[in-house]
Amino acid sequence: MAVTIQSIEAILVDIPTIRPHKLSMTTMGVQTMVIVRMKDSDGLEGLGEATTIGGLSYGPESPEGIKLVIDTYLSPQLIGQPADHINTLRVMLERTTRGNHLAKSALETALLDLRGKRLGCSVSDLLGGAVHRHLPVLWTLASGDTARDIEEALDRIETGRHRDFKLKIGARPLMEDVRHVAAVKQALGAEASVRVDVNQAWDESTAARGMAELQAAGVDLVEQPTPMKDHAALVRLSRRFHLPILADESVADATDLFHLSAAGFTGAVAMKIAKAGGPVRALAQATVASAAGLGLYGGTLLEGTIGTAASLHAWSTLETLHWGTEMFGPLLMKDDIVVRPLTFRDNGVELPDGPGLGVEIDEDKLAAYRRKDL
């Protein structure tokens, strides 16, 4: 008799960050996660997570909207369905519900976690098997204060936690941002990689000026300098500078990436399981990128441990991550809702052991941070 999906619960969880996290469009002091708990007819539970950055200031899906979509539209379609038919269920949701990739990613993750627990294998095993057990992780410097960012980076280097750093810029005047980045790069020296994320804040002419200055300052990578829909600007900029561009918001799925690469873009792509609609489709994006000769980077929407673990299982199956990963989301939060946090060491993170995601909910912590008014 087939094992079926019996219940799905979507829970809003609010955890303060260790410091204000400043982006070009907002400053975060709290991260809100949508935690999915899916139970099957045998009593096993699968976990998933949908998390975005800064509510609706970053993208079209908010935590509250994600919960509403799961509760009202997606869960009723899944209840009573065979829990092991993951591909069938993904296709069904794509046909009945447009968009809402973050919500779908959380549900696919929960289904994979359930399947792994049933079979006694990891999610990475379900995705073909891990090539790497330890993945590199950079740290984002986003206080906005130069001296504080330098102090924070030097501390991470000294403790062996990180040696690659990304600076969030774009909210201030161009040359003010450039001076900030150049000062950080000079303080850290040649041993540390420094990248910047503009989060779509520049038009093409500003981006051209900025990239020239950043290239001279020794920056290694510029993430999404121009608006997401302006593919032509990304192509022109990628051809004009030897400083590589990382496409992020411009690429949601494998189709976006195909069109961008076909237009002549040369650089790298930030893969995110959430924006792709789940781990399986994120890995399809990696296949297109590799065929086009583009670099791979394991991106994040600042997920907590559950969402980060799901991404790590996917990224672990890839032969090469040219620019590493930024799966530091749990480190940005003051607390966690899992029994055993991820192990960050040696400038990276260990792939969690155990069946499924290898993650277990801490019920007391979940109760403490669960939003009470919804």
Read off the pLDDT of residues 324-353 as tens digits, 9 standing for 90 and up.
Answer: 999 999 999 999 999 999 999 999 999 999
**Residue 286: pLDDT over 90:** yes
pLDDT at 60: 80
Q: Are 25 and 59 in contact (CB under 8 A)?
A: no
Write the pLDDT tens digit of every residue in 173-191. Answer: 999 999 999 999 999 998 8
Average model confidence (pLDDT) for the chain? 94
Say yes or no to pLDDT of 374 above 60. Answer: no
Which residue out of 67, 166, 168, 185 is catalytically annotated? 168
Confidence (pLDDT) at 144 = 82
Residue with tokens 């195909």: 258
Return d(Cα 340, Cα 209) in angstroms, integer: 46
- 3-class SS letters over 30-77: EEEEEEEEEEECCCCEEEEEEECCCHHHCCCCCHHHHHHHHHHHHHHH
Q: pTM of the entire structure?
A: 0.94
Whether 229 is a known active-site residue: answer: no
- The highest-level CATH class for domain 126-350 is alpha beta
Question: Options 3.30.1490.20, 3.30.390.10, 3.40.640.10, 2.40.420.20; which CATH number does 5-122+361-369 get?
Answer: 3.30.390.10
Inter-residue contact 324 to 135 (CB < 8 Å):
yes
The pLDDT, as a whole number, for residue 2 is: 87
**What's the whole-number mean pLDDT along residues 304-316?**
98
Look at 19-33, 73-87, 133-147 and tell me which has the smallest mean pLDDT.
19-33
Residue spans of the domains in the chain: they are 5-122+361-369, 126-350
Residue pair 61/32 in contact by the 8 Å Cβ criterion: no
Q: What per-residue confidence (pLDDT) applies to 49?
A: 98
| 168 counts as catalytic | yes
